[in-house]
Amino acid sequence: MENFVKGIEELSKRINTLKEQVNTEEATKTALILPFFQKLGYDIFNPMEFTPEYIADVGIKKGEKVDYAIMNDNQPTILIECKSVNEKLSNHDSQLFRYYGTSKSKFGILTNGIEYRFFTDLEETNKMDSKPFLVFDILNLKENHIKEIYKFSKEMFDIDNISSSAYELKYVNLIKNFLNQELENPSDEFVKFVLTSVYDGVKTKTIIDRFTPTLKNTFNLMINEKVTDKLNAALNNSTENKVEVKNVENLTKVTKTEDLIVTTPEELESYAIIKVISSDTIDTQRVHYRDNRSYFNILIDNSIRKWLTRIYFTKNRNYIILNDDHKTTLEFNEPIDLLKYKDEISKVIEKFI
């Protein structure tokens, strides 16, 4: 799994570099799509395993071809329809839908080399669903995406295993997308639905418009409270860990320099926030801190060689330095502001998975 993650991350960086130079569908296949399936372990040069231009006759139409088919025992298990990197995928799933119904394939993939949409037949057997059960952007992969992609590798591919998890995966993603949309811009129908439980009067358009910003603010308040609760829990744990560390240190000689180090509440709060950020990427038990006189160090596995970020609180400014290739420096006012840099911090964390 570790090598697979590394390979996918390297591919993501390569695609990000090449995408502006790719302008046609054939170039998209060669430069962006085939390397992806190569990373999954398939022999893209073996037509018995990875068949190009797979014939999928549709009704009276003969000679209809899907771009690629991944084969098993001379039968297609995955159909792959490719589009140019410059094309949106929304208008092309009907083509894959037609091909799907003529074969014994269990999965269909629609991609432009950047976005990947995975389909199956959860709602009606042998009829491809109109909505994908897995969607990801190869340039913005999350940990859960990589786990699902790994299931489609040649080494791990198991139709029953993927099918059993596809149902929940599909609807969890659809619910998340729906709630995110309503969070950003509550629809009249959703506001009216909520008002049914809290407002006894007639739900006129005026009332709905009045309550829409209130509902949006309520969402934001709830999220902030959840974040605060997580921070407080992490902060409490970090305080306990600090006591344990000090007890161990007391067994050894404590130098005068160590006596001068004072870990401030702001540093501990920063540590708690980093732990919250890291929770989506790595086991938070691996995240530690080590205070120094000039900066506050966040470490992975409590190893100084695996420092994640160094946090500086000075009279003139507060800033962090990330352990990336450029030693990126990011400024902030309060520790809570570190949440704005979640993506940047997460990318560094991924180095230590």
Tens-digit pLDDT profile for residues 294-325? 889 999 998 888 999 999 998 888 999 999 98
pLDDT of residue 136: 92
Q: What angle do CA 348, 169, 272 make, to 5 degrees?
A: 35
Asked if 111 and 31 count as a contact pair (C-beta separation under 8 A), the reply is no
Q: Which residues does the chain have with pLDDT short of 50?
A: 60, 242-259
- Rounded to whole angstroms, the maximal C-alpha distance in the chain is 87
> Which CATH architecture is the domain 2-177 placed in?
Alpha-Beta Complex (3.90)
pLDDT of residue 62: 62
272 φ, ψ (degrees, to nearest 5):
-65, -40
The structure tokens listed for 226 are 């959840």
The structure tokens listed for 270 are 């920063």
pLDDT of residue 316: 83
Answering whether pTM is above 0.75, one says no
pLDDT of residue 233: 67
pLDDT of residue 92: 65
pLDDT of residue 298: 93
Asked if 42 and 169 count as a contact pair (C-beta separation under 8 A), the reply is no
Size of the chain, expressed as the number of residues it contains: 353
Q: What angle do CA 143, 147, 148 make, to 5 degrees?
A: 120
Strands 318-322, 303-313: pairing is antiparallel
pLDDT of residue 257: 44
Query: Where are the chain's structural domains?
Result: 2-177, 185-254, 255-352
Beta-carbon contacts of 277 under 8 Å, excluding residues fewer than 6 positions away, are: 338, 339, 342, 345, 346, 349
pLDDT of residue 239: 52
The structure tokens listed for 230 are 């997580």
pLDDT of residue 252: 41
Per-residue pLDDT of 86-131, as tens digits, reads 888 877 667 778 778 777 888 999 999 999 999 998 888 888 888 8
pLDDT of residue 352: 86
What is the rounded CA–CA span in Å between residue 63 and residue 197?
57
pLDDT of residue 260: 53
